[in-house]
Structures are given as C-alpha cells and as structure tokens.
Structure 1
Amino acid sequence: MRPERVQNPPDEPCGEGKYELEMPPLPLVVPRHEKRLIAPLRKAAQTRDPDEILVRAVCVAYRAPPGDEDATRLAHATADLAVTGGAAAELFARGGTTWGDLASMAAARLPGVDAGDTRLRGHAAALLERAQRVSVLLRKSDADRKTYRLAFPELKGWIGVSGEDDAPHRPVNVPQSPFPTHYATVPVDGEPYRTRYVWSGPDDAPLIVLLHGHSSRVEEYDE
C-alpha cells in the first residue's frame, strides 16, 4: 500500500457532555469492572420476579447490623430492581402482594425469625413502599421527578437497575425527553418488542420521522 496523499483531519474537540448521569455507589459495583453491578444485585434482577426481588431486599435489610450504610444501600437498590426492569415492573404493576406477604416469605428464609417479627415487618413495609415510590418516579418527566424527589429525598441519587439482566422500561439514572413518551409494540422476526417514541417540537412544525438504530434511545433526537 502506497499512500499518495495524506489528509490531515480537522480539529474536532470533544466537549463535555451536557447530561448528568447518576452512578452507582462503589460498594455496589465490581472493582475495576466498568461499573458492573455486584452479583447479589444481578442475580436478583435475573429472576425478573418482583416478589422474589423484594423478599431478597427484606432479607438483606434484616440481616444488616444497625447503622450499616452499605447494607442499607444494597437493600434499597435490590428493592428498586422490582420496578426498574421492564419484565419485573410489568408484574409489579399487577399488584396484589402486601408487605405482610413479603414478611412471611422472608421469614421462611431467616432461621428462627417469625413472620410477626416487628423489625422484619418494618423492613418489608419500608422496602415495598420504596419500590412503589420509585415506580411512580419513573413515570414522571425530568421536571416532575425533581419535584417528587423534594417530597421524598430518599429517592435522590442512583436508583437500582440492571440493564444487562432486565432492560428498563423507562430511563432510570439518565435524563429523559421533556416531551411525553409513548409506547408501541412492534414485531421483529415474529417476536414482540416494546419500544418508546416521542412527538417533539411545536404542533405546527414540519413532520420529520427520525429512527435510531442498534442500541440508541429515543432521547438521542435532541443531540
């Protein structure tokens, strides 16, 4: 190969990103492994079962020594997985499971602990309530999320999600479109896939259809 003429590329500076991303706390990720979540979180997400996920969260909280902040973060992140992953969230939305049910299921895994244990029932109620609040949070716009978090400051920061194991149904720790988001189920090779789309801009603007491919997300229309 003999290059006859070399083209010098123009300077293309890479500016700082305009989006702020929430990153998981260090105790919840594998060191030096690209922020991949620790095994207990990934295994919980892989069940795609909100009841199973919440029971695991209750057990983590109950076993934790008083004041153990890392264990509290793990319990909260685990509970979040019940509503952030698409498959788990769909089951969670059907409802039916109470904190009393969670306490009973957790007691069966904790030797010597009765379902009526006050501390166990407290953890079950608190973690179910957290999952319910996270579920509400995810359905809100960015502006409304900020307002909601003022009312519930415990929801500030990173929300537990494991996209590798149960793809999220809404943006979780990243900004989302300021315009209303809609859903559509489309067939791909005979399999149904749920996707999001937005109508953006003024109502009287020219209609432009923008389709992103591969791993892109709907918010990229604004980049």
Structure 2
Amino acid sequence: MKSTALHQTITLVKKDILLELRQKYAFYGILLYIVSTVFVINLMIGKPEEKIWNALFWVVQLFVSVNAIAKSFMQENRGRLLYFYSLVHPRSFIAAKLIYNILLMAIMSIITLVCCVMFLGNPIINIWYFLGVIMLGGISLSLLFTMLAAIAAQANQNAALMAIMGFPIMLPLLMMLSSIARSSFIIVYQPGLPKLFLMMGSMDVLIIALSMVLFPFLWKD
C-alpha cells in the first residue's frame, strides 16, 4: 500500500514537471515578473541599505509564491480532478502538489536572489546562511499556499480567496523569515534564532499534517 502511494506521488510529480516544461509560458511569466519587479525597485530606490533590502526581498518572495503556486490547482479543471479522483488517493495527490511546489519555489527563490543581487546590490555577509534561509522560507511559503490553493480550488477557482485566507498566517511567517535572515547581514550573533527555527519547522509540520488530513474531505466535494 505504501509503495503504491509512493509510486502515485512520484508519477504525479513527474506529470506536473512535464506539464510545466510543455507550458513554458507560465514559468517565463513568473520569471518576467521577478525581473521586472526587482528592476522597478532599483529604478525607484537604487541600492537600499541592508534592512530595506531584506524586507524587499521577502515581499518579492511573497508575491512570487502566490503567483507561482496559485496555478498549481487553478490549471486543474473539474473534469481532470474527477479523473484523478478515480485513479489516485487524495493524499498522494496533495503530497505530489506539495513536493512539486517546494521544487518550484526553490528555483524561484534562487532566481529572486540572483536578481536582487544584480539590481539591488549585495549587502549579504554570510551568503550560505542566507541561501539556507531562503530555501527554508521557500518551503514554508510553498506548503502554506499549496494548502490554501487546494481550499480555494473548491470555491470556483477563486484565487482571491487564497490571498485572503493566507493573510493572517502570512504576516507572522514573513516576520519570522525576516528576523532569521537578518543574521546574514550582521556579524554579531542574534539571540533567539534556535527558537525561530523551531517555530518555522513546527509550522511546516503542522501545515503538512493539516493538508494530509483535510484534503481528502475537500476532494470529496
């Protein structure tokens, strides 16, 4: 049973990757959004100081994650969802979406970092630490918005509903990510980091657990 669920999950991840490769306009659209947003920020404020740079990076990450992940369920019409419902277990389906969106956000996070460094300068002192933080942040944002996109998909594909539901959770998440990333810009050790990392990890585990429990009930509707 476990091997069957794992096989279904891997197959669905491969399906999403192949679909993304065939529909390259969606990926290039998000890439254009990243480059144009960061370029406009550069035209407006030039190369900001480290605190503003950090804040702007996570704001861009937020909107990138919303645009990139919203389409994961919006592109699945009712007929296709019904077809998948007859073939695979709902937990395999949501697990595949979570894995795929994590991979997608990892790529988008690196692209956003490269664009910010190119257009807004590089105030980062510890680049490897910051890279690890944005990977952690990309995972957290992808998990959160995948679950919200799954809920919004049941409400007539309403993308606005995803943003509204995610706003109360998104704010503390961005504040934690900004606080954790701040250590990349200073040499002095920042107290309280282990607690923040633990809170982030606990939130990710909670979102995964909620997705696995709630999605089978959502899919029945």
Higher helix share: 2
Which protein shows a greater Rg?
A: 1
Q: Which has the higher strand share?
A: 1
> TM-score scaled to structure 2, two decimals?
0.29
